[in-house]
Structure 1
């Protein structure tokens, strides 16, 4: 096959984003390219390619994620997402392209003795795809010794790879906080218990976890990213859900954040006479 035009391929992936566990067109395109390269390919919850050379029994894995995010793309370039409300906003289009480029290079210049397994993982954004591939028997069928992956970083110098000994990324934990107040008419706020005002107080209180309750330099981030209510323009909400994201470098800090979140939420709930869970 002719050399892969990696820029064009990345643009193609960018135009056809698919959400986690729904990457059907993406999987078919990846599998087709691997097969054209002469790589043994199987499709399951993800896509796996196996390239074996020589008689060695050592094996490594190279891994990329495939899923996009439920985000509307507002860009105006000529390879903008063609799927309304879905976008490759985390760079997985680039990750797939890089791994296929690696597969092409290794298939053409196979100066190694052993096996390389190319792992294309679904549903990374919700943290479910890796376990799904493991549960499907990936590591029993192909017991690799090590797995390598890379994440792109817009703004990093071209040709530079950043790494370090030990830990390089924080953990991610998702949270939801449910506020059960009492709805009412906007003209009579004293009759209800406005969940959105209480929610705003919770959001502000959560920011004190990092700034006042953890040691400086802990490297923790607490972010509220969504506020959902049952209110209307002239009706105060009785129900509000706060959703967000916590990043931490060590398990102890992550557990302390969870404890403090519950403590703050319960205290604010008691102060306002509402249930917060």
Structure 2
């Protein structure tokens, strides 16, 4: 069956959970209501264990099947974004400046739906660990849960996650083995020259000119240092000086940006080149540059064998699956889980909706049965009951 009949029956109930989460968004690790509500649902399903406070406000629901077997982890992220909602929906955010603009409300509801089904049927041999994670949106909640003993404490053998994808038909699936999403690093470059009067540039060291040239020169990293067959993005997102007047050459200029890569070697190269280009370019104009470079989420790399397991489950639900989708450059902290254990991450269609992180975005409740059925099918395939 593409969609489990029981899950199809549960769809209105799961959608109601999702909309309640949507109305009550919470950010990063500050998820007291969300975590408590998820735990309440899990306990009502009769799962074997509900363990809270992992990595801050993360929690786990443990469901044991029939007989012995491996342990499969399923992950959903719970946090919202600091965005003011513009959907006008009857279940829109009740908290100004916070909204579920990336579909984590849907991910949480889908995993809860799968947990309820699995707790009812127990048609698997082994253990399912349902992982509800805080702080995916920039807070590395996955790493916090791992550092708090998630994988070893619950004996997770392999781990899987999904994310909705606007623009892809609702309930369809795409993935690929290997790099799926980019690493995300950040830099801040402070350029110092010698301030002065704009009418007397020869008496100053023009910090703005030096900093502007750094912005341009940073683009040479991708154009001339990176293998053309590999993907790297270098973007300067902010630029400011310590002057607010048009007739002053500022003393300092500060720029900040991000570097995205799909390859670990290119990540190392990009960091080295950002530092070298910034300092050398500033020196050429008589200025100095100090580079602060911080590494963020690593590349999200699907393990080939597990990506095929995920593809088979998705294909059973949707009838077909794209096994070689294009990687994307936004980052995802599920990457830490894939560094800790074999597993795979998959995209599920959200239909013709606004893009993630847009004020008009909303998760498509019509995709819920496909998401729940995917998780359930994956578990039953990976932990088959031996009669």
* Superposition TM-score, scaled by structure 1 size: 0.85
Deviation at 1:196? Answer: 5.0
The residue aligned with 2:274 is 261
The equivalences for 1:39-58 within 5 A come to: 39=47, 40-44=49-53, 45=56, 46-58=58-70
Partner Cα distance (1:26, 1:188) in 2: 58
CA deviation after TM superposition for structure 1 residue 193, in Å? 5.2
Distance, in Å, in 1 between the alignment partners of 2:125 and 2:253 is 58
Aligned counterparts of 2:93 and 2:250: Cα–Cα separation in 1: 35
Residues 116-154 of structure 1 deviation map (CA, whole Å, 9 limit, x = unaligned): 001111122335322221222222320111011112111
Q: Which runs of 5+ in 2 are unaligned?
A: 1-8, 291-387
Whether 1:12 and 2:20 are equivalent positions in the alignment is yes
Q: Which of the residues 184, 187, 192 maps onto 1:180?
A: 192
Asked whether the equivalents of residues 28 and 139 of structure 2 are also in contact (C-alpha less than 8 Å), the reply is no
Partner residue of 1:275 out of 277, 288, 309: 288
Show CA shifts across 1:43-73 (max 9, x none).
1120111111222142110011222333344
Q: Is the 8 A contact 1:189 1:236 kept in 2?
A: no
Aligned length: 275
TM-score (norm 2): 0.63
Going from structure 1 to structure 2, the CA distance change for 1:196 and 1:71 (only over 3 Å counts) comes to farther
User: Where do 5+ consecutive residues of structure 1 fail to align?
Assistant: none
Specify whether residues 77 and 215 from structure 1 end up closer, same or farther in structure 2 by C-alpha distance, changes over 3 A only: same
Match of 2:41 in 1: 33
Residue 215 (str. 1) matches residue 266 (str. 2): no
Find the partner of 2:108 among 86, 96, 100: 96
Say if 1:54 and 1:112, in contact at 8 Å, map to a contact too: yes
Residue 270 of structure 1: CA displacement? 1.0
1:170 counterpart (146, 161, 182):
182
Q: Which of 244, 249, 254 matches 2:262?
A: 249
Q: Work out whether 1:135 is the aligned partner of 2:147.
A: yes
Matched, 1:158 2:167: no
Mark the CA change 1:219 to 1:86 in structure 2 (over 3 Å): closer, same or farther.
same
Q: Which has the higher contact order (CA 8 A, sep 6+)?
A: 2
- Cα deviation for residue 85 of structure 1 reads 3.3
Equivalents in 2 of 1:14, 1:154: separation in Å?
17
Match of 1:23 in 2: 31
Question: What's 1:115 paired with?
Answer: 127
Distance, in Å, in 2 between the alignment partners of 1:202 and 1:267 is: 9
